[in-house]
Structure 1
Amino acid sequence: MTSQTDAVGGKYDQFAQAGTTEALGGNIHAGYWDSGAEHVPMAAATDRLTDLVAERLALRPGDRVLDVGCGNGFPAVRIAETHDVHVTGITVSAEEITRATALAAESPAADRVAFRLADAADLPDDLGTFDAVFAIESLLHLEDQAAALARLRRFVRPGGRLVVADLCQREPFTGAAEAVLAGMVRTLEIAGINSEQEHRDGLRKAGWDLVELLDIGENVRPSYELAAQAFRRIADAAPPFAAADIVTAAELMSAFGENPSSGYVLITAQRP
């Protein structure tokens, strides 16, 4: 594993041990709020984003699905249960593997969900072939997203779909916002946040056919402040090694969410 991989795995181990995933309602990704549904709690909104991803995968019962950056397993288990498919989740965090495996063991889809320690930048050849793959807020941790997307393509059958949910920059961050972006990158072990065009270019370079790219930034925007509030609540009780990072992450997420240049893309692509 690369040093970037070790850093990302360590960061998510740290956040998991501090209880941040529980504070966010289980998932560790943004939520999606439909217009007029701003009262919906974070846990329901994050599940809603998972469902939007699953809808775009065009799944059929029995399909094999790869979850790249599976977190603590909530999306993988939810998709396996609701779509009657087999899901393999990969992550570079050993702590997340432990939690995801425990979650899956309690699910009626327990025999259709599995998790393993693996790096999306260097996928093991024994993964097998999948009908679909999704990545929720995981590609931004990779130094070379296009290379990872190209390798992912090798594990998906022709005609199979890729769905990516990730942050994006609508416009370059300038002035004081540059410090916020730099802080996000440093504190959350992010390799970079793409523009929409960079997302498009990466997919094209990797050999995927773009089906749809939506900027759902306004629908996910409440996530940042809600996550910041949750992080602040647990910081006092967090282990000393994690508390400072949690507080810093809270302030950065709040500032990032307030910036109109912060977007969020939901991308659907297909292997030719």
Structure 2
Amino acid sequence: MPVEVRQAERVSNYNKFWHKDSAKDTEADRDGRLDQYTELVNGYYDGATELYEYGWAESFHFCRFFKGEPFLQALARHEHYLAHQMQIKPGMRVLDVGCGVGGPAREIARFTDAIVVGVNNNDFQIQRARKKTAKAGLSDRVSFQKGDFMKLSEQFGEGSFDAIYAIEATVHAPTFEGIYGEILKCLKPGGIFGVYEWCMTDAWDPSIPRHKEIAHGIEAGDGIAEMRTLTDARKALQAVGFEILHEEDLADRQDVVPWYYPLEGDIFKAQTLWDMVTVFRMSTLGKVITQNTVWGLEKFGLVPKGTYDVGESLKIAATYLVAGGQTKLFTPMALWVCRKPAN
């Protein structure tokens, strides 16, 4: 059995990166987070990964929902939509940037018959991704490597992929220009990049205290050094040399069932009987049960010290993600499909 590769110290240090009060969070604090983004993100995911799997699924992202659509089916459809927009074909070599435990990589490989390589900088997630992929019988088509996604071209070489996608992951990068530039280098000429990006919308104004509070809550709750805007992402894609083929904010669709409904914890909004379990875990009682269990596991040394505190951060995240969704100040699914110029 492989040795667990989580580092307890970075889990316990996670919350040191933020002030609880958004009004006290300064540019110096933000710069410190950006400078230490690797430790910040690893501390967060060392503590949060199993909580994500328990409370959500193996695909760590949001999605749109149709009336009556099961939760897991909606997650898969969201991944299929991205692969379809990118026109991923059988046999293509595709990179998943910020792959988590590999849920989307496995699903997209099944859906497209492409060869998918997942990369992130968290040993614990890579370990779990490989184990789950072997269990699914997909190790011949889906593989995983540890790497810094700000140094992708050093690791994989320039022009090494037909297509690259990122699902709610590149928001963790210290700059959009840096990560998008690396992705551009790794694509073959004419290659396609598709991304679901976390952004504050054009309605967001950081000079308004409530707006700043929502962005700060999302940052602290989700291991993000700095939230940026739709405009920031668009300008960064263009600045590094991408040709934008398609752009839309899927969270701005007039859906009857909002993307954030599972986070509200209202079991009466569950779309199917089984989904009531997922929604219950997000309810007040569900969170209490989960956190009390984590507290006990931490006391007995079965999870790293600080995991409970990361769980508390996830509760903060849920509150502010819902607030951001309800006010249309935040989107987790700003979609861009871009092409690397052929010349």
Normalization by structure 1: what TM-score?
0.90
Q: Secondary structure at the match of 1:102?
A: helix
Distance 1:111 1:125 in 2: 24
Please tell me whether residue 160 in structure 1 is matched to residue 216 in structure 2: no
CA contact (8 A) 1:24 1:227 kept: no
* 2:225 aligned to which of 191, 196, 201: 191
Distance 2:228 2:53 in 1: 25
What RMSD over aligned residues (CA atoms) do the two structures have, in Å?
2.1
C-alpha distance 29-107 of structure 1, shift in aligned 2 (>3 A): same
CA contact (8 A) 2:120 2:126 kept: yes
C-alpha distance 42-236 of structure 1, shift in aligned 2 (>3 A): farther
Q: For 1:1-272, what aligned pairs fall within 5 Å after superposition? A: 3-17=36-50, 19-33=51-65, 37-123=66-152, 125-128=154-157, 129-168=160-199, 169-173=201-205, 174-219=208-253, 222-227=258-263, 229=265, 230-232=281-283, 233=286, 234-239=290-295, 240-263=308-331, 264-272=333-341
Which sits farther off after the overlay, 235-244 or 249-258? Answer: 235-244
Equivalenced residue count is 268
Larger Rg: 2
CA contact (8 A) 1:67 1:76 kept: yes
Which sits farther off after the overlay, 41-50 or 199-208? Answer: 41-50
Distance 2:249 2:162 in 1: 25
Q: Which runs of 5+ in 2 are unaligned?
A: 1-33, 266-280, 296-307
Q: Secondary structure at the match of 2:244?
A: strand
Question: Residue in 1 aligned with 2:9?
Answer: none
Q: What amino acid maps onto 1:176 in structure 2?
A: R
Which sits farther off after the overlay, 6-15 or 39-48? Answer: 39-48
Distance 1:225 1:198 in 2: 27
Normalization by structure 2: what TM-score?
0.72
Tell me by how many angstroms 1:238 deviates.
2.5
Q: What amino acid maps onto 2:294 in structure 1?
A: A
| CA-to-aligned-CA distance 1:119-167 (integer Å, 9 cap, x gap) | 1112262424000000111111111111211111111100110001012
Tell me by how many angstroms 1:231 deviates.
4.2
C-alpha distance 141-228 of structure 1, shift in aligned 2 (>3 A): farther
Distance 1:198 1:95 in 2: 31
Q: Secondary structure at the match of 1:182?
A: helix
Tell me by how many angstroms 1:193 deviates.
3.2
Q: What amino acid maps onto 1:24 in structure 2?
A: W
Q: What amino acid maps onto 1:255 in structure 2?
A: A
Q: What amino acid maps onto 2:112 in structure 1?
A: H
Distance 1:222 1:72 in 2: 25
Q: Where do 4+ consecutive residues of structure 1 move more than 6 Å?
A: none
Q: What amino acid maps onto 2:37 in structure 1?
A: Q
| CA-to-aligned-CA distance 1:156-207 (integer Å, 9 cap, x gap) | 1001100010122232243423211112112212233333322221011111
CA contact (8 A) 1:26 1:43 kept: no
Q: Which runs of 5+ in 1 are unaligned?
A: none
